[in-house]
Structure 1
Amino acid sequence: MRVPIYEAIAHYKRNKELPYTEYFCLGFFSKLSLAEKALTDSKNLIGFSDLNDDSFSIITHYLNDCAHIGEDINYEIVNNKIYGVWYDYDLDTNYTSSGYMGVFSSLEYAEKALDWYKTWDIFKIHGLEYLGIDPITLNLRGWTEGFITVYD
């Protein structure tokens, strides 16, 4: 069974010479139309309104999409809560690579997936403290107040 979960994202690049792009998670949604609305609403906020349309996108994750959590999987979402397994490690002194490796319908599934992700070489190099689990409320938009940019 493939249950899509949609992550609305804005991406921002300070200038074209930099190799990195910053990502803002605008929320996780159970329906594509809700993720699209989050993008539309975010485009009117301070900071986000300066970005072009190509700076907004939707990533499709699939609930419980990790073979290492078991075979008999329950896809029920209780109280609009899911659990995201995230990574977040420094590329250099200015930039961090971060995102979600998977989303899960229960904390138990997220913990099983996290145990498997901990075996990956990249986290042996960067450290296991750069992995974790966040509870996520579906259909709740993030970044409702926008942002300002500060340059050195």
Structure 2
Amino acid sequence: MRVPIYEAVAHYRRNEKLPYTEYFCLGFFSKLSLAETALAESKILSGFSELDDDSFSITTHYLNDCAHLGEDINYEIVNNKIYGVWYDYDLDANYTSSGYVGLFSTLEYSEAALAWYKTWDIFKVYGLECLGIDPITLNLRGWTEGFITVYN
């Protein structure tokens, strides 16, 4: 069974000389239409309103999508809460790579997946402390107040 979870994302490059793109998670949603609404509402906020339409996208994740969980998996989402296994490591002094490697319906599933992700070479290189688990509330938009940019 594949249960999609939709992540609304805004992204931009500070300038074309730098190879990195900044990403803003605008929330995780159980329905595509809710993610699309979050994008539309975010586009009018300070900072986000300066971005082109192609700076907004929706990433589809699949709940409990980790072979190391076993065969008999419960996909029930209780109280709109799921758990995300995140990564966050520095690429250099100015930029960090971060995101989610998996979304799970229970804390136990996310802990089992985290143990497996810790065997991946990339996380051994950057340090196992760059992995963790966060509770996520579905259908709740993030970045409701926008942002300002400050350049040196």
- What's the CA shift string for 1:71-104, capped at 9, x where partnerless? 1000000000000000000000000000000100
CA shift, 1:119, in A, is: 0.2
CA distance in 2, matches of 1:80, 1:59: 19
Identity of aligned residues (%): 84
TM-score, normalised with respect to structure 1: 0.99
Q: Let me know the Cα RMSD of the aligned residues.
A: 0.4
CA distance in 1, matches of 2:46, 2:9: 16
Q: Which runs of 5+ in 2 are unaligned?
A: none
Q: Paired residue for 1:134?
A: 134
SS at match of 2:148: coil
Q: Paired residue for 1:40?
A: 40
Q: Paired residue for 2:14?
A: 14
CA shift, 1:23, in A, is: 0.2
CA distance in 1, matches of 2:129, 2:150: 28
Matches within 5 A, 1:63-102: 63-102=63-102
Q: Which runs of 5+ in 1 are unaligned?
A: none
TM-score, normalised with respect to structure 2: 0.99
Q: Paired residue for 1:23?
A: 23
CA distance in 1, matches of 2:28, 2:54: 19
CA shift, 1:70, in A, is: 1.6
CA shift, 1:25, in A, is: 0.1
CA distance in 1, matches of 2:12, 2:48: 9
Q: Paired residue for 1:120?
A: 120
Moved over 6 A (4+): none
Query: Are 1:109 and 2:109 counterparts?
Result: yes
CA distance in 2, matches of 1:128, 1:71: 27
Number of equivalenced pairs? 152
CA distance in 1, matches of 2:71, 2:90: 34
